[in-house]
Amino acid sequence: MSGLSSVLGPALKAAAGLAGINKLWFLPTFLAAITYYHYDLYDPESKPFDVKSVAPEYDFIVIGGGSAGAVLANRLTEEPAWRVLLLEAGGQETEITDVPALSLFLHGSRFDWKYKGQPSTTSCQAMIDRRCCWTRGKVIGGSSVLNTMLYVRGNRRDYDHWASEGNVGWSYQEVLPYFLKSQDQRNPYLARTPYHTAGGYLSVDDVPWKTPLGIAFLQAGQEMGYELRDVNGEFQTGFAPFQFTMRRGMRVSSAKAFLNPVRLRKNLNVALWSHVTKLLIDPITRRAYGVEFIRGGVKKTVIANKEVILAAGAVGSPQLLMLSGIGPKAHLQQKNIPVLVDSPGVGGNVMDHIAVGGIAFLVDYPISLVLQRAFNLNSALRYAISGEGPLTSSVGLEAVGFITTKYGNASDDCDKFYNEVFAEINNRDVFGVFPMMLRPKSRGVIRLRSNNPLQYPLIYPNYLTHPDDVKVLREGVKAGLALGQTAAMKRFGARYWDKPLPGCKQFAPYTDEYWDCYVRQYTMTIYHMSGSCKMGPSTDPYAVVDPQLRVHGIDGLRVIDASIMPTITNGNINAPVIMIAEKGADMIKYYWKTPGIAARQSRNTNTTIV
């Protein structure tokens, strides 16, 4: 299981019993109630059509139907003359994937690629085989079907930094319109501010179910001297309630937001259960002209008249580039792959947000989201009938604090705390604080296991290989403990659950040495994998794509997903990935609709063509 799941191990086990073993009535009753009360919402015809057969050629082929791919398929088919094929390796969403409280149960399911990092000596020490799981969505909608639906754009300094590194057009003021373009902000107070808007495809709303601990968390932040903020507003440092990609208490995945409304467009074909295995590239002209994929056990080929667009994510995109001859020359030769472009940055620069698990506080009052209150007949019917109740809670996530440790920069270089009310320990209500590092200095690597496209790549997250990352998380733990000591939390009798971590018993509790050990034991990925196909100008030898998201050294090929991030953004990355796809779609439209521009622009390359 994932790092977060290991923290909640007893809770998940209990929930499994409640939902499937001890109370066999819950799941079928729940599904029947949803079907009865929401038959119109769950009509199979409302989902994207899965074409039975793929045409020989299209104008654009989009690989991956996740957060980026769904946006691209929508925006490109706004041009009626363009035929677009969206290839997705997984299948459809289900009623269960719509339920916010069940998101953790989807990890390790058929909706998950089930990747795992390689064993580590610096992190994930308390995990099985010292490996952190890398949950990635294998379903239409991608990881937006499995995530906790948090809508966080990041810090304006993230994007200004991208622009300062030569990525023209990617400053905060230039990307903000693309965040607004997607958004349908359902909180009327936020919708009237300059940082939000209504009417877009992507619903953003407040969670219907709240506990007193969420409010107390915000009050605790004020006691610590922080302002209350709009997490996506002018300033980020401070405490804020979360915003969610949610509508009527149900998950809004990228597929539900961007594909369902346009499923009747004649120029859009969606092919599910289609695993792309290779990009077709002319070795003479260095132009991508199609893809190979496997569907129903049969290898197929399809041609792209204009462009092939990789939106397969931080693992899938570099893997496909390398399998197709674009990557570090020595590595490709070692795997017996003919080298088309020696691009040393492919699969490098891997980033993720990691947190520290297990920082739990016992409370004396029955106020938290515990399993017995969520998984019962009353909550199931309440959810099915009115879209309310504890099942609308995103695994207890309610509020967040962005703070700066003594190792941070002058402003907005933050640790992030989740207030997660997750389980009962020793039959008591509990809340958890999860310090999360937002600007890691450690970098990971993705490499091919072999030239077999069906074999998963080797993932080396390299968490905490830079000593500064350990220091930041250590200070985050201290700040989390201080939050539990505020008057706002003490009202509920909050006290730290100080059971020593078995792997750190050799160190005195509460010392820096103990917390350093704790951080390395209880490393939790937050599943924000990014950076493995870095965006940068031709002067950057490790850049994989240019600021127009075109692959250096290859014509007709772009990468548009989280892998292009030069540095990771401050917060959950689903909203930034959707923004990247919105902006990328406009770049493609400009390129092909401006008379003569495709002929005038030469390939911008920083790579060695072999």
Question: What confidence tens digit (pLDDT) does each residue in 167-206 have?
Answer: 999 999 999 999 999 999 999 999 999 999 999 999 999 9
What does the pLDDT look like over 480-496, one tens digit per residue? 999 999 999 999 999 99
29 pLDDT above the threshold of 70 = no
Percent share of the chain, pLDDT over 90:
72
The CA-atom distances, in angstroms, between 23 and each of 14, 62, 264, 383 are 11, 43, 41, 18
pTM score, two decimals? 0.91
Q: Residue 472 and residue 179: Cα distance in Å, rounded?
A: 29
Residue 138 to residue 403: CA distance in whole angstroms: 34
Domains of the chain: 1-46+126-131+208-241+353-444+454-526 (3.30.560.10), 48-93+139-201+249-352+529-610 (3.50.50.60)
Q: What pLDDT does residue 464 have?
A: 96
Task: Extract the annotated binding site.
Answer: 139, 276
139 phi, psi to nearest 5 deg: -170, 155
Average pLDDT, the chain: 88
Reference 394, options 359, 363, 429, 421; nearest CA is 421
Residue 371 confidence (pLDDT) above 70: no
DSSP 118: P
Statement: residue 246 has pLDDT above 90:
yes
Q: How far apart are CA 260 and CA 386, in angstroms?
A: 22
Name the residue type at position 59.
D
C-alpha span between 235 and 237 (Å, rounded): 6
User: CA-to-CA distance for 97 and 580, rounded, in angstroms?
Assistant: 25
Q: Among 197-206, 276-285, 307-316, 385-394, which is the least confidently predicted range?
A: 385-394
Helices assigned H by DSSP within 450-593: 467-484, 487-490, 512-521, 574-593
Distance separating alpha carbons of residues 323 and 300, to the nearest angstrom = 17
Q: What is the model's pLDDT at position 21? A: 36
Q: Encode pLDDT of 195-245 as tens digits.
A: 999 999 999 999 998 889 999 999 999 999 999 999 999 999 999 999 999
Q: What is the mean pLDDT of residues 401-422?
A: 62
Least confident range of 7-11, 75-79, 101-105, 476-480: 7-11
Give yes or no for residue 7 having a pLDDT over 50. Answer: no
pLDDT tens digits, residue range 310-323? Answer: 999 999 999 999 99
Q: Report residue 460 as tokens.
A: 């080396």
SS3 43: coil
Is 528 a residue of the active site?
Answer: yes
CB neighbourhood size of 409 (10 A): 10
**Alpha-carbon span 283 to 279, nearest angstrom:** 12
pLDDT at 291 over 80: yes
- The string of pLDDT tens digits covering residues 546-587 is 999 999 999 999 999 999 999 999 999 999 999 999 999 999
Which residues lie below 8 Å from residue 511, measured CB to CB, with a gap of 6+? none
| pLDDT confidence of residue 405 | 83
Closest CA to 568 of 243, 255, 253, 314: 314
Between 391 and 547, the more confident residue is 547
Q: pLDDT value at position 598? A: 65
pLDDT band per the 50, 70, 90 thresholds, residue 41? low
- CA gap 322, 317 in Å, rounded: 9
- Secondary element (H or E) of residue 610: none
Q: How far apart are the first and last CA of the chain?
A: 42
Q: What is the pLDDT of residue 24?
A: 53
pLDDT at residue number 409? 58
Q: How confident is the model at residue 385 (pLDDT cuts 50, 70, 90)?
A: confident
pLDDT digits (tens, 9 = 90+) for 76-133: 999 999 999 999 999 999 988 999 988 888 999 999 999 999 999 999 998 888 999 9
Using CA atoms, how far apart are residues 382 and 379, in angstroms rounded to an integer? 5
- pLDDT-derived band at 2 (thresholds 50, 70, 90) equals very low
Q: Which residues contact 137 (CB under 8 A, 6 or more apart)?
A: 66, 90, 111, 112, 113, 143, 144, 145, 146
Asked if 401 and 238 count as a contact pair (C-beta separation under 8 A), the reply is yes
Query: Hey, how many other C-beta atoms are within 10 angstroms of the C-beta on 513?
Result: 12
pLDDT tens readout for residues 501-510? 889 999 999 9
Residue ranges for the known binding site for FAD are: 139, 276
Lowest mean pLDDT, pick from 152-161, 268-277, 386-395, 599-608: 599-608
Q: How far apart are CA 610 and CA 331, in angstroms?
A: 14
- Short-list 321, 369, 262, CA closest to 554: 321
Per-residue model confidence (pLDDT) at position 372:
59
Structure confidence at residue 415 (pLDDT): 55
- Cβ-Cβ contacts under 8 Å for 499 (sequence gap 6 or more): none
Catalytic residue, from 107, 196, 353, 528: name it.
528
DSSP helix/strand/coil, 426: coil
Alpha helices in 360-420, H assignment, sequence order: 371-374, 377-386
